[in-house]
């Protein structure tokens, strides 16, 4: 109660930053602190409960879930509107689909002057049938209620315009895009505790001459799990020293895909580590990064791997094609071409091991275009212009 009383007497203008789940906290690094530095009072809204100490700002929990649920979503909009009327923010920045829908609708009903929807991806791109229609309708409503739309990549902007979700003059990409840039001081070879690298090496217990192909991300159909495992089978048959390192949460809901995944893990040349708080030791052991995702907004892992001087192979899909500079940071392959993907992985292996200039060029491209501080400077220039009505 004391904190709430203090908030009532806080003279700083309020800005609400909203995401659907706590997993998206990774996209918020430095953002709330920057709002404070600019003289604003940030309030972090999330569908999960998050401690104030964890984000360094006031927090607000609004139950919203990830899937579309009309009754729950209606209640969430009403709760969010009530909170916004109390907070009187000068701006809301909502991102991720459900928070984008709930918060932009509530903000419009509450009369918030600047309503930003940061589009970080389109689930409808891989959805089918009724689910695709529902996703399209929710995105259409969210973008209609927003006063500004920022897409995290040029290909995402092209996709939302082509799908008639927004007119071309309502959305923009800031700088070269990306969700929040990359901390290239944090993500650089040798920056992490080398004892952690050696501990991971010992845990894996792979031969010294092992060649590590890696993946970091959600274990999910949209991330190309089946394609990844099919490509791995080809790589495995061609390179006896090959090993596959998988990192990330298992989000498989389909029992058949779960069975496929469990069968893959029976291979003694495959290891799944689950979630890792610090993924840098994983990058340190990788020779090639594999990312056959079917859709993205702007995948940070592709920038991280390049910053760590690990060459990548990815599908030429929305988001990924902006995060890979073809033949500079990695190779882009047409989606669904599993054999070509595997061949590109073997090509990248030779490229990365034999051409150190290639790996340095990959890191330099990320540093030049996506350094977090520089990207946030660009973002806040736009944010402050909108808030101040410039």
- Check whether residue 172 and residue 249 sit in a common domain: no
pLDDT of residue 68: 78
pLDDT tens for 305-324 read 999 999 999 999 999 999 99
Same domain, 154 and 212: no
Mean pLDDT of the chain: 93
Confidence of residue 9 (pLDDT cuts 50, 70, 90): low
Structural domain includes residue 186 = no
Do both 174 and 198 map to the same domain? no
In this predicted structure, the answer to whether residue 183 has a pLDDT above a threshold of 90 is yes
Q: Is 52 inside any structural domain?
A: yes
Tell whether 46 and 56 lie within a shared domain. Answer: yes
Query: How high is the pLDDT of residue 4?
Result: 44
Q: How confident is the model at residue 354 (pLDDT cuts 50, 70, 90)?
A: low
237 exposed, middle or buried (CB, 10 Å; 0-12, 13-18, 19+)? exposed
Which pLDDT does position 327 carry in this prediction? Answer: 86
Residues 93 and 146 in one domain: yes
Domain assignment present for residue 291? The answer is yes
Identify the residue with better confidence: 360 or 36. 36
Q: Are residues 164 and 203 in the same domain?
A: no
pLDDT beyond 60 at 89: yes
Long-range contacts of 379-388 (CB under 8 A, 24+ apart): 379/150, 379/174, 379/175, 380/34, 380/38, 382/150, 382/172, 382/174, 383/91, 383/93, 383/116, 384/38, 386/91, 386/114, 386/116, 386/147, 386/148, 387/13, 387/15, 387/90, 387/91, 387/114
- What average pLDDT does range 72-80 have in this prediction? 94
Residue 188 falls within a domain, yes or no? Answer: no
**251 is a domain residue:** yes
Counting the structural domains of the chain, the total is: 2
Whether 353 has a pLDDT exceeding 70, the answer reads: no
CATH of the domain at 127: 3.40.50.2000
The answer on 149 and 81 residing in a single domain is yes
Three-state DSSP state, 224: coil
Q: What single-letter DSSP state applies at residue 298?
A: -
Q: What is the mean pLDDT of residues 234-252?
A: 96
Name the percent of the chain lying above pLDDT 70. 96
In a domain, 263, yes or no: yes
Coil, strand or helix: which one is 173?
Answer: coil
Is the pLDDT assigned to residue 351 strictly greater than 70? no
- Among all chains, which residue has been given the structure tokens 């991806």? 121
Assign 217 a pLDDT band (cuts: 50, 70, 90): very high
Q: Are 230 and 208 in contact (CB under 8 A)?
A: no
Whether residue 228 sits in one domain with residue 129: no
The C-alpha angle 205, 210, 216, rounded to 5 degrees, equals 80
Q: What pLDDT, on a 0 to 100 scale, did the predictor assign at position 215?
A: 98
pLDDT of 7 over the 70 cut: no
Higher pLDDT, 44 or 28: 44
Residue 189 covered by a domain: no
Tell me, yes or no, whether 135 and 264 share the same domain.
Answer: no
Q: Which domain holds residue 233?
A: 194-370
Q: For the beta carbon of residue 162, count every other beta carbon within 10 angstroms.
A: 9
Domain membership flag for residue 231: yes
| 108 vs 353, more confident | 108
- pLDDT at position 358: 81
Q: What is the pLDDT of residue 67?
A: 79
For residues 224 and 366, state if they share a domain: yes
CA-to-CA distance for 307 and 363, rounded, in angstroms?
4
Output phi, psi for 120, to 5 deg.
-110, 5
pLDDT category of residue 126 using cuts at 50, 70 and 90: very high
Same domain membership, residue 310 and residue 381: no
Same domain, 342 and 218: yes
């Amino acid at each position: 109660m004391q904190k709430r009383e203090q908030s009532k007497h806080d003279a700083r203008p309020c800005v609400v930053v909203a995401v659907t789940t706590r997993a998206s906290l990774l996209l918020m690094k430095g953002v709330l602190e920057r709002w404070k530095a600019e003289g604003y009072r940030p309030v972090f809204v999330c569908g999960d409960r998050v401690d104030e100490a964890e984000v360094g700002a006031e927090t607000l929990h609004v139950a919203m879930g990830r899937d579309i649920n009309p009754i729950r979503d209606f209640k969430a909009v009403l709760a969010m509107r009530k909170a916004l009327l109390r907070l009187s923010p000068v701006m809301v920045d909502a991102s991720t689909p459900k928070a984008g829908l709930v918060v932009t609708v509530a903000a419009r009903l509450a009369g918030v002057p600047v309503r930003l929807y940061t589009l970080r991806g389109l689930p409808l791109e891989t959805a089918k049938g009724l689910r695709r229609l529902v996703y399209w309708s929710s995105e259409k409503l969210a973008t209609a209620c927003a006063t500004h739309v920022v897409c995290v990549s040029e290909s995402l902007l092209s996709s939302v315009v082509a799908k008639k979700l927004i007119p071309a003059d309502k959305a923009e990409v800031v700088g070269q895009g990306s969700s929040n840039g990359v901390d290239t001081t944090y993500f650089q070879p040798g920056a992490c505790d080398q004892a952690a690298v050696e501990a991971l090496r010992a845990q894996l217990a792979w031969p010294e001459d092992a060649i590590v192909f890696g993946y970091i991300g959600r274990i999910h159909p949209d991330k190309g799990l089946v394609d990844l495992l099919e490509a791995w089978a080809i790589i495995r048959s061609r390179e006896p020293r090959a090993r596959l390192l998988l990192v990330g949460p298992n989000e498989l809901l389909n029992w058949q895909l779960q069975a496929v995944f469990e069968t893959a893990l029976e291979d003694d040349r495959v290891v799944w580590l689950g979630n890792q708080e610090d993924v840098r030791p994983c990058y340190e052991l990788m020779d090639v990064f594999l990312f056959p995702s079917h859709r993205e907004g702007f995948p940070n892992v592709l920038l991280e791997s390049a910053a760590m001087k690990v060459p990548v192979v990815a599908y030429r899909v929305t988001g990924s094609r902006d995060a890979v500079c073809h033949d500079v940071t990695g190779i882009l392959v047409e989606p669904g071409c599993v054999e070509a993907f595997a061949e590109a992985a073997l090509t990248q292996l030779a490229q990365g091991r034999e051409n150190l200039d290639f790996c340095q060029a990959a890191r330099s491209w990320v540093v030049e275009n996506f350094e977090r501080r520089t990207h946030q400077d660009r973002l806040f220039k736009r944010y402050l212009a909108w808030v101040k009505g410039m």
